[in-house]
Amino acid sequence: MRILQLSDTHLRGDNKLSFRVVDTRRCLDATVAHLKSMAQKPDVIILSGDLADSGDLNAYHILTELFSPLNIPIYALPGNHDRRDRMQNVLKDWCPSDPDVAPHICYTVEMDDLRLVVLDSTHPGSHSGHFFPAVETWLTGELRKRPQVQTLLFMHHPPFTTGLGVMDEPFENQQLFAALVADNPQLRLCFGHMHRPIITQWQGRLCVTAPSAAMQIDLDLSPEGGDTFVMEAPGYLLHHWENQTLNTHVCQIPTNVTFDGPYPFADSVNPVGPSD
């Protein structure tokens, strides 16, 4: 089983440059071309948030147009730059949300010996991560169903500090989430948001963050770091589950890499919409 995790495409639907610099449509075209060329296609694709820049409606339509011909099951979750309502309207087949936890986009993909749990950590208008009581109740119930089965939990915001200064914002109800993670040894946690591959252990569980499919945050480990990006190679994570072994590979997308930057994250918002 090959689960490809793609994150932080920040696609604009108006042909303008994201953050005044990045042609995210060109980046996405390169990503789709790479997926089509792969000799071993993924069995599942997970889009782990910040699909659209500032919740751009047309961006979600472009995503469906480009990804649907791949004929690969796709699942998506929101990031702080997305709009839940637009995702659920345009990408409804990619967001099979459990109505019991609405408006949060949370659901589980069941397989014979593997589970994919998708968790919504967003709050409209906020840049940081959140773990609401309703989501905690839902997640507790889901993890009790098959506690013996290896489980990949996908969420946009990591709850741990990364050293990237301004990106290490408070994570609401972190201790509540930490206790739940510590009680479930079957979990591996997979995040986006950081625009860099990061591997750590938190609450006794392996955690990984995905690189961006567009631009990477500058590796500045000062208190002011984390607020600029560079045009390093775009990438993704490939989670490979076979013979009860789960490996996570950090992969790159072939493109013309310039390493230009650092640039500020300018002209982008954390949208507030009807999903409030």
Determine, yes or no, domain membership for 52. yes
Determine, yes or no, domain membership for 32. yes
DSSP string of the chain, one letter each residue: -EEEEE----B-SSSPPBTTTB-HHHHHHHHHHHHHH-SS--SEEEEES--BGGG-HHHHHHHHHHHGGG---EEEE--TTS-HHHHHHHSGGG----GGGTTS--EEEE-SS-EEEE-----TT-SS-B--HHHHHHHHHHHHHSTTS-EEEEESS-SS--S-GGG----BTHHHHHHHHHT-TTEEEEE-SSSS-EEEEETTEEEEEPPPSS-EE----STT-SSEEE----EEEEEEEETTEEEEEEEE--S-------EE--S------TT-
Flag whether pLDDT at 94 surpasses 80. Answer: yes
Q: What are the pLDDT digits (tens) for 223-240? A: 999 999 999 999 999 999
| Segments forming the whole domain that contains residue 94 | 2-264
Confidence band for 272, pLDDT divided at 50, 70 and 90: confident
Determine, yes or no, domain membership for 269. no
Determine, yes or no, domain membership for 258. yes
Q: What is the pLDDT of residue 273?
A: 74
Determine, yes or no, domain membership for 47. yes
Top-confidence residue, 276 or 17:
17
Q: What is the pLDDT of residue 256?
A: 86
Determine, yes or no, domain membership for 276. no
What's the structural domain count of the chain? 1
Average pLDDT estimate for 172-178? 97
Q: What are the pLDDT digits (tens) for 190-199? A: 999 999 999 9
Average pLDDT estimate for 60-77? 96
Confidence band for 275, pLDDT divided at 50, 70 and 90: very low
Tell if the pTM clears 0.75, that is, is over it. yes
CATH code of residue 111:
3.60.21.10
Determine, yes or no, domain membership for 196. yes
Determine, yes or no, domain membership for 128. yes
